[in-house]
Amino acid sequence: MTEQHSPQFERGTDGPKVIVVGVDGSDSSLRAAAYAGGLARRQHALLAVVYVQPVLAAGAALGAPVAGTTDEIAEDLVAQIRDAAERLKGIFEVRWEFHTFPGDPYNGLMQAADELKADAVVVGASQQAGHRIVGSVAVRLVKAGRWPVTVVP
């Protein structure tokens, strides 16, 4: 009979290396970004801030300026994040990147987490009444069971 040793725990090396957070400009998504930023800082992880840019084929067919509007939202989010990062410079250092992915929020975050090799996903809690019936993005990500998912209220 051979003796088995349990693996040695090394402080500071077992946490997530890439944390994906979904943002859409809502209050809950911005709270999720703040939470994920603190987690990334404590874990010395890369914070990947992801905005899923809606693809609204019906709106585009009717002549609605969908792409321009969602580009403006993405630019505004980047400006808000840069502003917050600048205010905290020298106090808290967090490595972060901003990414946009096309599609619906669930599939966009799934694609982002896969492509960015996420170790954890953070999202804000949905505040839409219909999600109680259909299921929120957060619930669907948890059910996918591919990463630890933190839902921030």
Chain CA centroid to CA 33, Å: 7
Residue 33, domain member (yes or no):
yes
Residue 145, domain member (yes or no):
yes
DSSP H or E segment with residue 21: strand 18-22
Residue 13, domain member (yes or no):
no
Chain CA centroid to CA 45, Å: 13
Residue 135, domain member (yes or no):
yes
Residue 9, domain member (yes or no):
no
Residue 136, domain member (yes or no):
yes
Residue 146, domain member (yes or no):
yes
More confident residue, 25 or 37: 37
pLDDT tens readout for residues 26-62: 888 888 988 999 999 999 999 999 988 877 655 455 5
Contact 39, 31 (CB under 8 A): no
pLDDT tens readout for residues 99-127: 888 888 899 999 999 999 999 999 998 77
* Cα dist from 132 to 91, 114, 125, 127, whole Å: 40, 26, 11, 9
pLDDT tens readout for residues 91-101: 667 888 888 88
Residue 122 lies in domain: 18-151
The number of folded domains in the chain is 1
3-state secondary structure of 95: strand
The CATH number of whichever domain residue 142 belongs to comes to 3.40.50.620
